[in-house]
A and B are shown apart, each in its own frame.
Chain A
Amino acid sequence: MSEMSKPPEFPKGHRPQVFDDPSIDQLHDAWLALATELAVAFERIDTLERLLEQRLGVAREQIEGYVADEAVAADRARRRADLAHRLLRPFREFREAAIARAEQHAPDPEP
């Protein structure tokens, strides 16, 4: 027992399934983890803003009143579009598969 072994990642015992479809349980677990990390990121940003104010004199009002110039705005627009694209990937994939299936089974168009 001098070796340090890691405790198990998951607790021993019965894992309940709440929803009829287990993927819904998993989806809820995943978004809750995401929400936690968002809270963690918010707190870090808050700390940074307060330190900026205390140490470098960057007032929080300056952050509120910040206006992006054209280049920054374009860069941010690109990032937003990229995020939307990544987020919607599963739905695009689902839609394309549904369309492909529909086309495969569609009756021949009227002559």
Chain B
Amino acid sequence: MQDFKQHAMLPATTHDEQARQDFVGAFRGHLSGRLMPGTYQVFASRVEPAFKAKHGRAPADQEEVRKVMTQDSFYQFWSAMQRRSQEMLWESVIDPTERQLPELIERARKLSRKNRGTLRLDPELEIPRYHRAADIHLQPGGYHTDFTADDVAAGVVYDKGINLYMGGALGAENDLTGNTLLAYLREKHPDFKPKRILDVGCAIGNSTLVWARAFPKAKVHGIDVGAPVLRYAHARAAALGVDVDFSQQNGEHTDFPDGAFDLVLSHITLHETSRSALPRILGECRRLLRPGGLMLHLEIPRGRTPMEKFMHNWEAYNNNETFARFMTDIDLVAESVKGGFAAADVQIDQFAPKLDVSQMNYTEHFFWKILAGWKR
């Protein structure tokens, strides 16, 4: 595991603040590595046998698993710890961020001026309901809420928070998801050299920068609905010496012209949208691609067995990823067809990252899901 890279937009921590972050990170690693596998063990050893004794069959789907597992005392304990540690993860980052916010905002203003890419915000943009209804991942205020002028707090908190979330597995610059999708492109389509790239739902641009660095001659854009994460993304990119254009737009309907991009991407974004938004986003991706252009979406695994599916959907019920449970069985090819793609031009692949179980949270069988679609 690489150490997290301390760049100019991250807040300094006091001795106690750092100790709190270190503890919550270590505690989550322990929960994931030592306790989480136990939920599968109690399912196999006592929950499923009791279900079979009563019904004469195994639980048929994740909902049947949910009914019995949520009554199991071991699962209850793990779940309570997982939930509280998720909240503590944000709290441990919010404290130093709030303490230094005026200074961080000033630093962001200065850094942004150095970024040769533009930052385009739209105060009139309607924040979609799937962001307003609940704070995704329990980050107070979500990705989109400004609590002061030129606020960057949501971005600062997100950057360090997601690093703690996966025990540092997201990489020194939280670039694991970008690197994974890039590795997929290079393996499957080594000759594809995009000149115009769009990252949809880019948040702090952690994945966007991977593409800007991999294709230095390309024009790279990142869009998101959240203003504070985009201000942060623009400043962070400058702090890391990369020029990227960021704009505040909804991926369901952007203001880019038809065929504006060779490559349109998203990184663990689709499951944070909604049933109605998903085909609209896929349709918009298609509109934005030139003929011969490629769409790539990286998604988190959703499990193979009913028990695995139930565990992955812990986040849907306990971490405000409310749409995630619909993503379990959704047919992404069919959704892409709704968005205008030909079924033959769309495919789903799996890609296994090198992770330790202490970084996986809900499973010992972690496979990224990749949706790829060509515009013919």
Interface residues of A (CB under 8 A from B): 1-14, 16, 18-19, 25, 28-29, 32-33, 35-36, 39-40, 43-44, 47
Contact = CB atoms under 8 A, between A and B. Distances in A.
Interface in B138-165: 138-142, 145-149, 153
Give the one of A4, A7, A16, A39 with max B CB within 10 A. Answer: A7
Contact of B135 (A11, A33, A39): A11
Interface in B23-82: 23-24, 27, 70, 76-77, 79-81
B318 A29 contact: no
Contacts of B142: 12
B19 interface: yes
Interface in B156-199: none
Contacts of B145: 7
Contacts of B141: 7-8
B101 A4 contact: yes
Interface of B: 15-16, 19-20, 22-24, 27, 70, 76-77, 79-81, 83-85, 87-88, 90, 94, 98, 101-102, 133-135, 138-142, 145-149, 153, 317-318, 320, 322
A91 B15 CA distance: 35
Contact of B76 (A3, A4, A11, A18): A18
B134 A7 contact: no
B134 A40 contact: no
A12 to B, nearest CB: 5
Given A6-B147, A36-B88, A25 B80 contact: yes
29 contacts: A4-B101, A4-B102, A5-B148, A7-B94, A7-B147, A8-B141, A9-B140, A10-B140, A11-B90, A11-B135, A11-B140, A12-B135, A13-B133, A13-B320, A16-B83, A16-B317, A16-B318, A18-B76, A18-B79, A19-B80, A28-B80, A32-B27, A32-B81, A36-B23, A39-B22, A40-B20, A43-B16, A44-B16, A47-B15
Given A18-B80, A32-B88, A13 B134 contact: yes
Contacts of B16: 40, 43-44
A5 B145 CA distance: 11
Contacts of A19: 76, 80
B19 A2 contact: no
Given A6-B98, A12-B142, A40-B16, A33 B80 contact: no
Q: Determine the main DSSP class of A at the interface with B.
A: loop
Contacts of A25: 80
Given A11-B90, A13-B320, A32-B84, 9 more contacts: A7-B147, A10-B140, A12-B134, A13-B135, A13-B138, A18-B70, A18-B79, A33-B88, A40-B19
B149 A1 contact: yes
Nearest to A6: B147
Nearest to A2: B149
A97 B84 CA distance: 32
Given A7-B153, A8-B140, A47-B15, A2 B148 contact: yes
Contacts of A32: 27, 81, 84-85, 88
* 10 shortest interchain CB distances as A-B pairs: A13-B134, A39-B23, A11-B135, A43-B19, A11-B138, A4-B148, A40-B19, A13-B320, A7-B141, A28-B80
Nearest to A47: B15
A9 to B, nearest CB: 7
Given A2-B148, A19-B76, A28-B81, A14 B19 contact: no
